[in-house]
Every structure is written in C-alpha cells, then in structure tokens.
Amino acid sequence: MQQTFNEDIKMKIETDLNKRNNNPVESISTLQKESAYRYLYWLLIAVIVISIFSLVTTVFSANSRIEIFLDSVNNSETVYFDFGKYELKNETYTIIDKVAEELKNNEKFVLNITGFTDDKGSEGFNIELSLKRANAVRDYLISKGINGEKIIVSAMGKNEPVNDNSTEIERAMNRRVIFSVSSLEPNIGRNAIDKLNGRRYYAEATLKNEYVNSSLTIRSREEIIADISIRDSAGMPVDSVKEEDIKAILKWDSNGTIDSTEGSPRLIPINDKKKIAFSLTMDYSGSMYGTDDYDNNIPKSDKIIAMEKSVKLFIDQLGSNMFCKIIKFGSNVIPPLRYTKSKEVLYGTLENNSHPMGGTALYLSINTALNDTTFKSNPTVMKTIIAFTDGMENSSGRVTLDTIYRNSNISNTKVFTVGLYNDVGNYKPDENELTRRKSDMLKIAQNTGGFFYQANDPANLKNIYSNIMDQVLKSYNISIVWNSAKLPPKGTQVKAELKINVKGTTRVLYMNYIME
C-alpha cells in the first residue's frame, strides 16, 4: 500500500511539473516550492492512511486472538475420571496442558473449572467428589505456573448430566470436568460465570497452606466466619495479625460483568480463655512396635514410648477450659472415653491398652473423633483433632478421605496431623508407600483446616505436640460482615476472598458458595 501511494505522489508531482514548464512566466523557484508542499501534503495523507490501516489490523488481530482463545478453551476436550475417583488419568494431562498454554498468553481472563459425577451415590457425596475432581485439575494447572487467583472452581455433583446415566458407558461420560472462560473486563457476551446449582459450599486455599489454613462457615446471608491458623516459614505460630491486615471481598457475576462488595472483618484471637475440646488419636499398629505379633507382653518400642511421653506432656499443658479424650487404634479403634478435664483420667487412659494392635485404621480413628456429637450445639467450644500415625491406612473399611473431609465440614472440626517416618524392625516400606503415608496426612490437614507435621525421629514428637498446642491457642476467629444493601439476589454463586497480610506477605483464602 505504501508503494502505491508513493507512485501516485510521484505521478502527481510529474504532472504539475509538466504544467508549470508550459508557463514561461512562472519562475523555477516557485515551481519547486509548490511541488515540495504538494509532496508533503500527499506524504502526510499516506502516513495517516497507513496508520489507520495498521490500527484496524491490530484490533482485528487482537479480537481474533481473543476469539481463538475463547473457542480453544470453551471447546477444549473434556477431562474424564474413573468411578469414585478424582485422580487425573495419564491421558488427561495433554488436554490440561493445552488449556495451561492458552491461559499463560491471556492474562485478562478467569478460567472456570466445573466438576461432575454420574448418578451413583448420595447428593452430598457427589458434590464432594465433583469438587475434588475440579480441584485436581486446578492444582495441576497451578503446578504448571497458572495463577490460582485466575481460577474459579465449581461442583455440580450429579446435576446437569449429558445423558440418562442408563448404562455404564453413559455414566462414564458424566464423570467429567469441563472448562469455560470469564473476562476480568466487562463480559463480552457468551462467557458469563457458570451458575452453580445446590447449596453446598467449600473452602479452598489458593496458596500452599503450610502457612495459612482455615475452616469457613456460613453464618447468615450477611456473615461468614472462619477459624484461621497461621504460621511462618519456620513453622512457628503467628499471632501478630490485626484487623487492618485482613481484606475481604465478595465477587459474583452480574449479567456478564464481575461485581463485588467489600466486607468488614472482625478479628477475635483464640487464647486460653477459649474452650477447646481435643481428641488425640494414637497409633498402636505393628509398625510402631516393629512386629506383626499381637502379644500383649511385647515391650514398648522407642516409638511407642516417645508417642506416649509427648501425649502426656500435651495433657500437662491443658488449661482449665480445655477438654480432652484419647483414641487408640491399630486394625480396630478402641471405643474412647468421653471428653474430660481430669488429667488423672487421661493419664490412666494413656497407660491402658498399650499393646500391639496389628493394622492401621487411621481414617476410622479420625472419623470416630469427628462423629462425636459432644459440644455439637455449643458454639463456644472449638473441637480439634490431633491425628498421629507412623504408617499407611489399611484397615478402615468404607471410611475414606472423602468421609473425613465431609464430616470435618459438617462438624466444623480441624484436624492437625503428625507423621512419624523412621521405621524399625524388619519391615522396610517401598518408595510408593512412603509417599502415600505423607500424602494422606498432608491431604487430611489441608482439607480440614489444620497443619501437617512430619517427625523423622521419635525425639521430635515432644516439640511437635507442644507446637500444635501453641498453634491452636494462637489461632483466630474471623467474622466477615457484608453490606446487606449491596449483596446479589438469592441463588447467586458468589466467591468470598480473604486476603491476610502475614509479616508483609499476603496469603489468600477463597470460599465459593450460593447466596441465601
């Protein structure tokens, strides 16, 4: 185009020169000046036209890239899962990798990940399972460098099936996760945040919750509450947070535009005046003794002695407003006594039934503590579980990790986990088992609002139990009150975002739920 304009200008100038050459009165200097002015005039016109063309081309190209991006993500292949599972299958990584690459080049968009299940199982179980599936995809995207703040997770359970679930093939098609896109700018049309049917809500930490973890609860339309534990990179409890360090925002989609309102936080430290009910689970499996023998006369191993001494020191620290009970387990769980303030009763429980018990019913022992209804209707008592094991779950029957997550949510109970990983005796676990041991304890803590503590030597247990007591006492209760005049209509999917400044570093917690 520029060459054409230059040729036109050249021809125009030559024509003018010819005309002026036929006029002997006109001077050559005048002819040169006018020719120069005309040349500049047409050159200016050419520059303007080229600039406009370039701008239109750029806008068109940008819009094309946006459309390509939206189509690429919205029409991406579905991620499918095995029955009852939320682990990613090998063939799904290629699909998610493509989505990750698109997101890296498009910063002004939010990715919506929605999980589904088939029609087998209860509504509550399927909502939980579909959330786990969506979060499995989300966690993988974060591991690929995608900002977790740009991802919204939704759980549909068995709602909105793609077929009638009448055959196994059809059910397999419903065990899925799908993607959609929302713009951070005013929505451009077809990419509104998907509305979530149902009334369940979940908390998710967008940053590694080695530092901040919480159990969040809806108290009313205008208020959510959270019991938050904070620790620093050295694993020490943080109790220096103030109300001005917390910022709360509620976000939702309003006719294609992301709308929001801020909340008013109220911070209440949990100190020794707070009533706390502790449940301490203790592992008496064969691996703790270094034998598969059930002989009650087998002497205690160093691991058993260290566990019991650490629990005794924990009992010594109990305050006057604290309750406690001990749950011992191996392949089965010994029915525990009721919560008590009596340290003498607890010491006696600690001495009784201290013998090898075979397998490791870790999940069942934690679920036994979660199912205790004591203090259920008493909001002034905070229930906390400290779960200990040195092995891998193998004896809990139908109790699964999902069971623990669900019951923790229902009872609003945190679980702190302690893993001891020095093996004694002849049994030497392979690398897969060691990974599974740690993974289970980490997941339980992450999904219930607690922290995971790893001990590589029995001597570490004393400090760990003392640290957990300190951590619980230095936790916070946070109340967030929203402006009722600015809240969206009932049934709207909302996302509560809590940003907490911890020693100059911002930690973020999210909660997706349906507005009442």
Instruction: Specify the pLDDT at position 362.
Output: 97
State how far the Cα of 32 lies from the Cα of 416, in Å rounded to an integer: 90
Q: Which CATH number fits domain 275-473: 3.20.20.70, 3.30.465.10, 3.40.50.410, 3.40.50.1100?
A: 3.40.50.410
> Looking at the predicted structure, is the pLDDT value of residue 454 above 70?
yes
Residues 6+ apart with CB under 8 A from 71: none
Task: Dump pLDDT digits (tens) for 167-220.
Answer: 998 899 999 998 877 654 433 333 222 222 222 233 333 333 467 887 778 889
pLDDT for position 110:
75
Q: Quote the pLDDT of residue 81.
A: 94
Query: Which of residues 111 and 203 earns the better pLDDT score?
Result: 111
Distance CA 316, CA 446 (A): 28
Tokens of 71: 């189509």
Average pLDDT over residues 414-431: 79
What gap in Å lies between CA 467 and CA 415, rounded to an integer?
14
Q: What is the β-pairing status of strands 452-455 and 381-389?
A: unpaired
Query: Please, what is the Cα angle at 94 between 91 and 96, to 5 degrees?
Result: 105
What pLDDT, on a 0 to 100 scale, did the predictor assign at position 431? 67
CA 293 to chain centre: 42
DSSP H helices in 335-430: 343-351, 362-370, 401-411
Phi, psi of 447 (to 5 degrees): -95, 5
Give 15-36 pLDDT, tens digit per residue. Answer: 544 544 444 444 445 545 555 5
203 class by beta-carbon count within 10 Å (0-12 exposed, 13-18 middle, 19+ buried): buried
Say if residues 258 and 303 touch (Cβ distance below 8 Å).
Answer: no
Phi, psi of 502 (to 5 degrees): -110, 100
Tell me if 460 sits within 8 A of 425, measured CB to CB.
Answer: no
DSSP states of 223-235: EEEEEEEEB-TTS
Output the pLDDT for position 44: 63
Under the banding of pLDDT at 50, 70 and 90, the label for residue 453 is very high
Distances (CA, A) of 163 to 85, 86, 134, 180: 20, 21, 20, 20
Q: What is the pLDDT of residue 35?
A: 57
The three-class DSSP label of residue 104 is: helix
Per-residue pLDDT at 249: 93
> At which residue do the structure tokens 């406690």 appear?
324
Continuous H helices in 184-298 = 286-289
pLDDT of amino acid 315: 97
Give residue limits of the domains in the chain. 2-72, 206-269+474-516, 275-473
Among 115, 159, 162, which residue's Cα sits nearest to residue 137? 115
The CATH number of 206-269+474-516, from 2.60.120.260, 2.60.40.10, 3.40.50.300, 1.10.760.10, is: 2.60.40.10
Burial, 273: exposed, middle or buried (Cβ in 10 Å; 0-12, 13-18, 19+)?
exposed
Q: Residues 326-348: pLDDT tens digits?
A: 999 999 999 999 999 999 999 99
Short-list 480, 514, 483, 484, CA closest to 497: 480
Beta carbons within 8 Å of 92's beta carbon, 6+ residues apart: 79, 80
Rounded Cα–Cα distance for residues 50 and 38 (Å)? 18
Mapped onto helix, strand or coil, the DSSP state of residue 500 is: strand
Start-end of H helices in 257-400: 286-289, 302-316, 343-351, 362-370
Q: Is the pLDDT of residue 62 over 60?
A: no
Cα-only R_g, the chain: 32
Q: Is the pLDDT of residue 40 over 70?
A: no
248 has a pLDDT exceeding 60: yes
pLDDT at position 470: 94
Mean pLDDT, residues 288-301: 84
- State the Cα–Cα distance between residues 176 and 136, nearest whole angstrom: 12
Q: Which of 7-11, 366-370, 420-424 has the highest mean pLDDT?
A: 366-370
Tokens of 343: 């340290």
Task: Give residue 122's pLDDT band: very low, low, confident or very high (50, 70, 90).
Answer: confident
How far is the CA of 8 from the CAs of 38, 42, 43, 353, 375, in angstroms? 12, 9, 10, 102, 90
Confidence (pLDDT) at 443: 85
The C-alpha atoms of residue 213 and residue 205 are separated, in whole angstroms, by 7
pLDDT category of residue 43 using cuts at 50, 70 and 90: low
Can you give the three-state secondary structure of 313-326, one letter per residue? HHHHCCCCCEEEEE
Residue 404 to residue 411: CA distance in whole angstroms: 10
Residue ranges of alpha helices (H) inside 111-202 are 123-143, 168-174
| Distance between CA atoms of residues 286 and 359, nearest Å | 6
Which pLDDT tens digit goes with each residue over 352-365? 999 999 999 999 99
CA atoms within 13 A on the CB side of 459: 0
